[in-house]
Amino acid sequence: MSDTINYDEFNRQLVQNKIGITAAELHGFLSGILAGGNHDESWRSLVKDMLNNGQVFDASLDEQIKNLYHLTKQQFFNENFEFELLLSSHDLFAQIDDLVGWVNHFLLGIGLAQPKINRLKDDVGEAIYDLRQIVKLGYDESDDEQELGFAFEEIKEYVRITAMLCFDEFNETDISPTIH
C-alpha cells in the first residue's frame, strides 16, 4: 500500500470508470464510515452500492479504493494526529469545492454508520451541525482571494479536527493492553 494517494490520477481513474464522484468525495465518504465506527468489510458494499450500483469495480480502481480506505484508517488510528483530508491541490476555488464535497460525503458516510447521529446533543452533535452549515458555504470568484484562502484553511482544519473528534467518539481508540 502506498502512503499517499495521487489526487489527480485517482480522479482520472474515477472518471474513466464513469464513477460520478471525486476523489475528495470518496475520501469523505470513507472517512465518515470509519469515523462512525464501521471497520468490518461492509464498507466495500456501501462503496459499491453508492458509486457503482452494486457492481464490481475495475481491478485497478478497486485496488486504489482499498488503498485509500486503509491509508485513511491508518491515519485515524495514528496517535500523532496524521489524518488529512484528500483535496485537490489546484486553485483555491477547486479546493473549496472539494472541501464542500468532502464534508457532504463525510456526513453521508457517518450517517450510514451512526443512524442516530442527528440525536446527539454533546460536542459531537454540535460538530455535526457545524459540518451541515459548512456544506452550505459559497463564494464569489470576485471575493478577496487572500481572505478566502485564510478562511478556507481555517475551515479545512476545523473539518479535519471534527472528523477526528467523531472518530474518537465512535471508535475504541485505546489500544494499550489491559494490565491485571
pLDDT of residue 153: 96
pLDDT at 178 over 70: no
Look at residue 160 in the predicted model and tell me its pLDDT.
Answer: 97
Instruction: State pTM to two decimals.
Output: 0.90
**Calpha distance 175→159 (Å, rounded):** 25
Which one of 1.10.8.50, 1.20.120.740, 1.20.1080.10, 3.30.1330.40 gives the CATH number of domain 7-170? Answer: 1.20.120.740
Residue 173: the pLDDT is 58
SS (H, E, C) the chain: CCCCCCHHHHHHHHHHCCCCCCHHHHHHHHHHHHHCCCCCCHHHHHHHHHHHCCCCCCHHHHHHHHHHHHHHHHHHHCCCCCCCCCCCCCCHHHHHHHHHHHHHHHHHHHHHHCCCHHHCCCHHHHHHHHHHHHCCCCCCCCCCHHHHHHHHHHHHHHHHHHHHHHHHHHCCCCCCCCCC
Answer whether residue 42 shows pLDDT above 80: yes
Mean pLDDT to the nearest integer, 50-79: 91
Q: CA-to-CA distance for 107 and 105, rounded, in angstroms? A: 5
Read off the pLDDT of each residue in 22-37 and give the average, rounded to a whole number: 97
- pLDDT tens per residue, range 134-175: 999 888 888 888 999 999 999 999 999 999 999 999 997 554
- Where do the domains of the chain lie? 7-170
Question: 111 exposed, middle or buried (CB, 10 Å; 0-12, 13-18, 19+)?
Answer: middle
Q: What is the pLDDT of residues 3-20, one digit of tens each?
A: 678 999 999 999 999 999
* Three-state secondary structure call for residue 40: coil
Distance CA 59, CA 169 (A): 34
pLDDT tens figures, 72-127: 999 999 888 889 999 999 899 999 999 999 999 999 999 999 988 878 778 899 99
pLDDT score for 2: 46
